[in-house]
A = this chain, B = another copy of it.
Amino acid sequence: MSAPIEFWFDFSSPYSYLASEKIEELAARYGRRVAFKPTLLGVIFRTTGGVPLTELVPPKSRYFVHDFERSARFTGVPFRQPSAFPISTVGAARAFLWLQSRDEAMALRFLHAAFRAYFAHDRSLAEPDVLAALAREVGADPAQMAQGMQEPAIKDRLKALVDESIARGVFGAPTIFVDGEMFWGHDRLPQVERWLATGPF
């Protein structure tokens, strides 16, 4: 089996959510696994001058919310623009990493449940209560998880991932690497698929 596809995401990124619902199936069709890697767009934007899509001038911000919704329908994924957007995702990312350090399958269930909670059910991942409820939903102990999120090793792991993403030129999410080739945006999934099918093109 070839190297896993790297999927860099932020839990507050709508297009990351859309792609997260498709990437594992796409990878599996080409005998690949997916390595999910959280990063923080808030930190990245400070180094690249990026701006959340909904904080652009009105013609753009209006279009992007419309595009989130239409792209979700196009992709066949439930979506409702969250009432709080964007949000801090440091906690959700640490929760994911802590779960991953103990149980990869549980971490993956958390990842998908968290994206859906935020983007389909308007549950803000910045709320500790929502993270605790998600822990229960995937079979983790909420108190243990809350404690785990504060472990220095987990905080350091997230910092290292954010630094790595910046060093590798990630400026938005999702960013997908296939054998070192970088693709930005859920709308590049057709090119990711071509790359998986034919190799470099």
Interface residues of A (CB under 8 A from B): 47-49, 56-57, 59-60, 62-63, 66-67, 70-71, 73-74, 169-171, 182, 184-185, 187-188, 190-191, 194, 201
Contact = CB atoms under 8 A, between A and B. Distances in A.
A62 B169 contact: yes
A185 B186 CA distance: 13
A187 B185 contact: yes
A171 B63 contact: yes
Counted per complex, copies of this chain come to: 2
A8 to B, nearest CB: 13
Q: Lowest 5 CB-CB distances: which A-B pairs, in order?
A: A59-B169, A187-B187, A60-B171, A48-B57, A74-B191
Contacts of A47: 57
B63 A182 contact: yes
B187 A70 contact: no
A184 B63 contact: yes
A184 to B, nearest CB: 6
Contacts of A185: 187
A73 B190 CA distance: 13
28 contacts: A47-B57, A48-B56, A48-B57, A48-B60, A49-B57, A57-B171, A59-B169, A59-B170, A59-B171, A60-B171, A62-B169, A63-B169, A63-B171, A63-B182, A63-B184, A66-B182, A67-B184, A70-B191, A71-B191, A73-B201, A74-B190, A74-B191, A74-B194, A74-B201, A185-B187, A187-B187, A187-B188, A190-B190
